[in-house]
């Protein structure tokens, strides 16, 4: 399915919240790099997918009712073999089905560590769609070190948005650490802007975290909300 | 904005005749003051006070109704309550009035009932193709037309700066401070509830208004923020626009479903988006006035290289520090500049020859300052000069020297005369009339200089 079809399908089903696998399919359609995210309907499928993707893997709960996956014990990282996958599958499902009987699990490759960013879109009451980016974790949540720009955003504005972060040096390289791939981040920002400018029915989008490497960047988790 | 709207706005700012509805004989009442403001500001067009029983008010004949007014009426200033206002607007429509200024509050800001009333007001205005200033506004001022259509009788010096304010009180703060600073006013409007005229409409009008050189905007929050920043960004390519946005405390919505959602709606977002569109954002009414003053008086520099000549280090350090944070640089002088400075101060002067140039004892004599200022202004790395002088009972200010040096170089000069406003008034008048803004504190000088540098860089000036 292409992006328009994916959005239309969710809409037709009366859903405003898109699950991670769906959002990542949309990102893929826009050429935004993300970790693959495969839906497992049962334990055997989870093990099979893990083998296919290669260990270590990540298991995440998949339910439109559970937006904050890790807060509710819905994420298991760095699973090394089929035994760990089975255990994690059972634990996640036991918690999730209490909330949503239709909950499932996604299996994803474990990404290598890098510098974490958050990229998002919000529809402001006064401005309409606004693009945000910030350094992940405490930088965004506690220090509020984020940039906002009105969508559409071109690569110059995107670059400026990254460089105006107080914590920019963490990306630019410090204490001998090589610079992160800023242009890969610019590329994601511009494509997210394009996505939302093309599909104004997207009300909110969170790519969190986006890991930036010395070469390349990768979206590890994503959620999307359509206009009501 | 449609051409028709622009024409109506022009008529509102330059009316040939103004009717005042809701006038009384009591100076306690808003209506009385609406009338007095028009007379006090010296409005030359026709003024028609309307009252059902009174014969004359403040020396003018009173008409029993709008209908009875003999000639056409361009603008009606309406001082009756929110309910009666709607009926008066209807009468205005029938009379062929172009624009109404509705002072009364009690509309959308008061909940559902008020909102319904405002919708009626809008519907009536639309029916007769009228534009509404307000409602819930102090009114508007145009010094070019000697027009004060507010209920605050004021006499304001004419000038090149116009203000659009979402608050009457903050708008008045800016006006009064501007007058104190010797800054002339062109137009001023309190936008009120923005029933038919948005902030962006006034901005578009002022962009086309040749007598306005600089626009200051005070904004609380608006539904058309997207259009506002886009329009303001366009306008700022032609004339400087300065924004003061209130609301720094962030009411964060923790219930928002996404993280990005909870970070939105903040002052930070507003500020960054204004900056995205190249606009200058200030943080107080004082900074607004200081910034507009520099932009209205001095030319925009070619780049961001600042030179300072002083006889006291402290204020120049404050300046260096704050201007640096706002994008200015303080280049070291070229060799030939240093040679010229030595000609003034001697071959081995007891001061360090660097920028800012602190000439200490020798920098208290106007003639020496004049020669130093000339030398620094001639330096190719310097785009703008700040001259600092602490006013003294017995020593002359370097006013004539600054004027001569500025004229010769054509580069912007900012004077920081540390003084009271009263003491500096005469010097200030001369300097202001010839394009040199004068400030009495280093902080205000910083705001003025930074405003000039902002627009220098926005216009593709040299980034040193």
Three-state SS string over chain B comes to CCHHHHHHHHHHHCCCEEEEECCCCCCCCHHHHHHHHHHHCCCCCEEEEECCCCCEECCEECECCHHHCCCCCCEEEECCCHHHHHHHHHHHHHHCCCEEEECCCCCHHHCHHHHHHHHHHHHHHHHCCCEEECCCCCEEEEHHHCEEEECCCCCCCEEEEEEEECCHHHHHHHHHHHHHCCCCEEEEEECCCCCCCCHHHHHHHHHHCCCCCEEEEEECCCCCHHHHHHHHHHHHHHCCEEEEECCCCCCCCCCCCCHHHHHCCCHHHHHHHHHHCCCEEECCHHHHHHHHHHHHHCCCCCECEEEEEECCHHHHHHHHHHHHHCCCECCCCCHHHHHHHHHHHCCCCCCCCCCCEECHHHHHCHHHHHHHHHHHHHCCCCCEEEEEEECCCCCCCCHHHHHHHHHHHCCCEEEEEECCHHHHHHHHHHHHHCCCCEECCHHHHHHHHHHHHHHHHHCCCECC
Let me know: does B41 contact B155? Beta carbons within 8 Å.
yes
Residue of A67, A147, A208 with shortest CB distance to B272? A147
Residue of B260, B261, B273 with shortest CB distance to A127? B273
Let me know: does A63 contact A73? Beta carbons within 8 Å.
no
pLDDT at A188 over 80: yes
The pLDDT value recorded for residue B206 is 98
Whether B365 has its CB under 8 Å from any CB of chain A: the answer is no
Dihedral of CA B129/B131/B136/B138: which sign? negative
Q: What is the residue whose two structure tokens read 């071959």?
A: B347
Whether B268 has its CB under 8 Å from any CB of chain A: the answer is yes
Between these two residues, A202 and B110, which has the higher pLDDT value?
A202
Closest residue in B to A150 (Cα) is B273
**What pTM value is reported for the model?**
0.92
Dihedral of CA B226/B228/B232/B234: which sign? positive
Cα B167 to Cα B177: distance, rounded to the nearest angstrom: 15
Closest residue in B to A142 (Cα) is B263
Phi, psi for residue B57 in degrees, rounded to 5: -140, 130
Length of chain A: 228
Cα B46 to Cα B147: distance, rounded to the nearest angstrom: 11
**Chain B hits for A128, Cβ within 8 Å:** 226
Compute, in degrees rounded to 10, the torsion defined by CA atoms B348, B352, B353, B354.
170
- Which residues are CB-contacts of A15 (< 8 A; sequence separation ≥ 6)? A64, A226
Cα B84 to Cα B213: distance, rounded to the nearest angstrom: 38
**Chain B hits for A121, Cβ within 8 Å:** 260
Q: β-strand B147-150 against B438-439: which pairing, if any?
A: unpaired
pLDDT at A61 over 70: yes
To the nearest whole Å, the CA of B227 is away from the closest chain A CA by 8
Dihedral of CA A222/A225/A226/A227: which sign? negative
The pLDDT value recorded for residue A185 is 97
To the nearest whole Å, the CA of A63 is away from the closest chain B CA by 14
Tokens of A18: 């898109």
CB contact (8 A) between residue A122 and residue B261: yes
Taking only the tens of pLDDT, chain B with its 464 residues reads 788 999 999 999 999 999 999 999 999 999 999 999 999 999 999 999 999 999 999 999 999 999 999 999 999 999 999 999 999 999 999 999 999 999 999 999 888 999 999 999 999 999 999 999 999 999 999 999 999 999 999 999 999 999 999 989 999 999 999 999 999 999 999 999 999 999 999 999 999 999 999 999 999 888 789 999 999 999 999 999 999 998 766 543 333 344 444 444 578 899 999 999 999 999 999 999 999 999 999 999 999 999 999 999 999 999 999 999 999 999 999 999 999 999 999 998 888 899 999 999 888 899 999 999 999 999 999 999 999 999 999 999 999 999 999 999 999 999 999 999 999 999 999 999 999 999 999 999 999 999 999 999 999 989 98
Cα B28 to Cα A51: distance, rounded to the nearest angstrom: 85
The pLDDT value recorded for residue A69 is 87
CB contact (8 A) between residue A149 and residue B261: no
Average pLDDT over residues A75-86: 96
Let me know: does B359 contact B345? Beta carbons within 8 Å.
yes
The pLDDT value recorded for residue B256 is 38
CB contact (8 A) between residue B225 and residue A223: no
Cα B157 to Cα B169: distance, rounded to the nearest angstrom: 19
Cα A6 to Cα A8: distance, rounded to the nearest angstrom: 5
Let me know: does B310 contact B358? Beta carbons within 8 Å.
yes
Cα B48 to Cα B56: distance, rounded to the nearest angstrom: 10
The pLDDT value recorded for residue B220 is 86
Residue of A126, A132, A150 with shortest CB distance to B263? A132
H or E, element range at A209: strand A202-212
- Which residues are CB-contacts of B325 (< 8 A; sequence separation ≥ 6)? none
3-state secondary structure of A207: strand
- Largest distance between two CA atoms of chain B: 84
Whether B233 has its CB under 8 Å from any CB of chain A: the answer is no
Residue of A127, A149, A204 with shortest CB distance to B260? A204
3-state secondary structure of A24: helix
To the nearest whole Å, the CA of A38 is away from the closest chain B CA by 23
To the nearest whole Å, the CA of A220 is away from the closest chain B CA by 15
The pLDDT value recorded for residue B265 is 54
Cα B360 to Cα B353: distance, rounded to the nearest angstrom: 11
Whether B238 has its CB under 8 Å from any CB of chain A: the answer is no
- Which residues are CB-contacts of A7 (< 8 A; sequence separation ≥ 6)? A26, A199, A201, A202, A226
Cα A104 to Cα A46: distance, rounded to the nearest angstrom: 10
Whether B246 has its CB under 8 Å from any CB of chain A: the answer is no
Closest residue in A to B273 (Cα) is A149
**Chain B hits for A157, Cβ within 8 Å:** 276
Please give the interface size between A and B, counted as residue pairs whose CB atoms are below 8 Å apart. Answer: 80
**Chain A hits for B270, Cβ within 8 Å:** 126
Asked if residue A36 has a cis previous peptide bond (ω within 30° of 0), the answer is: no
Closest residue in A to B276 (Cα) is A149
Domains contained in chain B, CATH given? 3-150 (3.40.50.720), 158-295 (3.40.50.261), 299-458 (3.40.50.261)
Candidates B213, B278, B277; CA nearest to B458 is B278
To the nearest whole Å, the CA of A48 is away from the closest chain B CA by 32
Domains contained in chain A, CATH given? 36-110 (3.30.1490.20), 115-226 (3.30.470.20)
Residue of B220, B234, B255, B259 best to disrupt the A interface, most CBs of A under 10 A: B259
CB contact (8 A) between residue A120 and residue B259: yes
End-to-end Cα separation, chain B, in angstroms = 39
Tokens of B128: 């007769």
End-to-end Cα separation, chain A, in angstroms = 22
Closest residue in A to B230 (Cα) is A150
Candidates A131, A134, A128; CA nearest to A194 is A131
Cα B452 to Cα B302: distance, rounded to the nearest angstrom: 10
Please give the DSSP secondary-structure letter assigned to residue A200.
Answer: T
CB contact (8 A) between residue A120 and residue B276: no
To the nearest whole Å, the CA of B359 is away from the closest chain A CA by 37
**Chain B hits for A150, Cβ within 8 Å:** 226, 229, 273, 276-277
Phi-psi region of A74 (alpha: psi -120 to 50; beta: other; left: phi over 0): alpha
Let me know: does A146 contact B291? Beta carbons within 8 Å.
no
Asked if residue B246 has a cis previous peptide bond (ω within 30° of 0), the answer is: no
Residue of A68, A150, A204 best to disrupt the B interface, most CBs of B under 10 A: A150
- Beta-bridge partners for B150: B139
The pLDDT value recorded for residue A174 is 83
Residue of A134, A136, A148 best to disrupt the B interface, most CBs of B under 10 A: A148
Candidates B130, B140, B53, B59; CA nearest to B89 is B130
Q: For residue A33, what pLDDT band results from cuts at 50, 70 and 90?
A: very high
Cα B453 to Cα B332: distance, rounded to the nearest angstrom: 18
Asked if residue A113 has a cis previous peptide bond (ω within 30° of 0), the answer is: no
Residue of A15, A127, A131 best to disrupt the B interface, most CBs of B under 10 A: A127
């Amino acid at each position: 399915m292409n992006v328009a079809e994916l959005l239309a399908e969710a809409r037709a089903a009366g859903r405003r919240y898109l699950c991670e696998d769906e959002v990542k399919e949309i990102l893929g359609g826009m050429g935004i790099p993300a970790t693959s995210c495969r839906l497992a309907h049962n334990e055997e499928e989870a093990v099979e997918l893990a083998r296919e993707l290669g260990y270590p893997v990540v298991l995440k709960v998949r339910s439109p009712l559970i937006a904050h996956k890790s807060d509710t014990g819905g994420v298991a990282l760095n699973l090394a073999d089929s035994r760990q996958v089975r255990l994690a599958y059972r634990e996640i499902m036991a918690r999730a089905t209490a909330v949503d009987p239709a909950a499932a699990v996604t299996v994803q490759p474990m990404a290598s560590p890098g510098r974490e960013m958050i990229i998002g879109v919000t529809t402001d009451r006064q401005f309409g769609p606004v693009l945000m980016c910030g350094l992940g974790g405490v930088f965004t949540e506690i220090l509020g070190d984020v940039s906002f720009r009105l969508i559409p955003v071109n690569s110059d504005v995107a670059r400026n948005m990254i460089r105006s972060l107080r914590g920019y040096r963490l990306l630019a390289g410090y204490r001998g650490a090589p610079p992160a791939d800023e242009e890969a981040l610019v590329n994601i920002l511009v494509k997210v802007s394009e996505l939302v400018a093309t599909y104004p029915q997207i009300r909110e989008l969170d790519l969190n975290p986006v890991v930036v490497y010395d070469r390349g960047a990768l979206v590890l988790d994503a959620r999307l909300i359509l206009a009501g | 904005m449609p051409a028709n709207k622009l024409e109506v706005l022009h008529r509102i700012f330059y009316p040939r005749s103004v009717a005042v509805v809701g006038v009384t004989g009591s100076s306690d009442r808003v209506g009385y003051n609406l009338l007095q403001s028009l007379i006090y500001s010296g409005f030359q067009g026709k003024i028609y006070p309307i009252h059902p029983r009174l014969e004359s008010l403040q020396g003018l004949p009173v008409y029993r109704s709008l209908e009875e007014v003999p000639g056409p009426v361009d603008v009606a200033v309406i001082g009756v309550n929110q309910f009666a206002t709607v009926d008066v607007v209807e009468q205005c429509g029938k009379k062929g009035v172009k624009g109404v200024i509705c002072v009364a509050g009690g509309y959308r800001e008061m909940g559902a009932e008020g909102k319904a009333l405002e919708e009626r007001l809008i519907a009536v205005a639309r029916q007769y193709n009228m534009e509404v200033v307000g409602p819930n506004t102090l009114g508007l001022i145009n010094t070019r037309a000697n027009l004060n259509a507010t209920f605050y009788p004021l006499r304001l010096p004419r000038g090149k700066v116009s203000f659009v304010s979402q608050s009457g009180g903050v708008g008045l703060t800016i006006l009064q401070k501007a007058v104190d600073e010797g800054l002339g006013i062109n137009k001023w409007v309190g936008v009120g509830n923005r029933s038919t005229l948005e902030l962006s409409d006034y901005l578009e009008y002022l962009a086309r208004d040749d007598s306005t050189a600089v626009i200051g905007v005070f904004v609380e929050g608006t539904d058309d923020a997207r259009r506002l920043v886009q329009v303001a960004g366009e306008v700022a390519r032609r004339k400087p626009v300065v924004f003061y946005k209130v609301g720094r405390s962030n009411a964060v919505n923790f219930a928002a479903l996404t993280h990005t959602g909870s970070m939105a709606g903040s002052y930070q977002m507003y500020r960054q988006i204004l900056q995205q569109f190249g606009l200058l954002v200030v943080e107080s009414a004082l900074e607004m006035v200081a910034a507009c003053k520099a932009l209205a008086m001095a030319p925009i520099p070619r780049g961001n290289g600042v030179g300072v000549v002083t006889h006291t280090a402290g204020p120049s350090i404050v300046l260096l520090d704050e201007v640096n944070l706002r994008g200015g640089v303080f280049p070291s002088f070229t060799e030939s500049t240093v040679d010229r400075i030595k000609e003034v101060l001697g071959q081995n002067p007891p001061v360090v020859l660097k920028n800012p140039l602190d000439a200490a004892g020798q920098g208290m004599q106007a003639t020496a300052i004049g020669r130093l200022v000339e030398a620094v202004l001639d330096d190719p790395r310097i785009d703008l000069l700040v001259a600092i002088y602490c006013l003294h009972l017995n020593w002359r200010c370097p006013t004539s020297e600054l004027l001569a040096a500025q004229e010769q170089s054509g580069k912007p000069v900012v004077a920081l005369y540390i003084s009271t406003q009263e003491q500096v008034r005469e010097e200030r008048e001369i300097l202001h009339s010839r394009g040199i803004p004068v400030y009495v504190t280093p902080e205000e000088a910083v705001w003025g200089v930074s405003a000039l540098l902002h627009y220098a860089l926005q216009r593709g000036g040299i980034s040193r």
